[in-house]
Amino acid sequence: MVRARSAFSPALPALALSLLLPCCSKSPAEPDKAPDPAASTPAVSPLLWDKPPSWTTLPAPPSGPKKASYQINHVGNDKEESSLDVFFFGTGSKGDPDKNFKEWFDQFDGDVASTAKRESFDVHGIKVETVEVQGTYKVALGPPVGPQKKASVAMVKKDFRMIGAVVKTPDRGNWFFKLTGPDETVQSARSVFRGLLESIR
pLDDT in tens, 70-120: 999 999 999 999 999 999 998 878 899 999 999 999 999 999 999 999 999
pLDDT of residue 29 exceeding 90, the answer is no
The residue with greater pLDDT, 153 or 196, is 196
DSSP assignment of 92-153 equals SGGG-HHHHHHHHHTTBSS-GGGG-EEEEEEETTEEEEEEEEEEEEEEE-S-EETTTTEESS
Mean pLDDT of 56-78: 96
Give the model's confidence band at 149: pLDDT under 50 very low, under 70 low, under 90 confident, else very high. Answer: low
pLDDT in the model for residue 146:
60
pLDDT in the model for residue 104:
97
pTM: 0.74
Residue 148 Cα distances to 98, 141, 178, angstroms: 17, 16, 22
169 burial type by CB count under 10 A (0-12 exposed, 13-18 middle, 19+ buried) = middle
Mean pLDDT of 46-54: 96
pLDDT in the model for residue 42:
43
Most confident stretch, 24-28, 129-133, 155-159: 129-133
Report whether 170 contacts 164 (CB < 8 A): no
Percent of the chain with pLDDT over 70: 73
d(CA 118, CA 130): 6
pLDDT, mean over the chain: 83
pLDDT in tens, 174-188: 999 999 999 999 999
- Extract long-range pairs of 24-29: CB within 8 Å, 24+ residues apart: none
Give the model's confidence band at 151: pLDDT under 50 very low, under 70 low, under 90 confident, else very high. Answer: low
pLDDT in the model for residue 24:
46
d(CA 33, CA 40): 14
pLDDT of residue 36 exceeding 50, the answer is no
Set out the domains of the chain in order of their start, with CATH numbers.
66-198 (3.40.1000.10)
pLDDT of residue 48 exceeding 90, the answer is yes
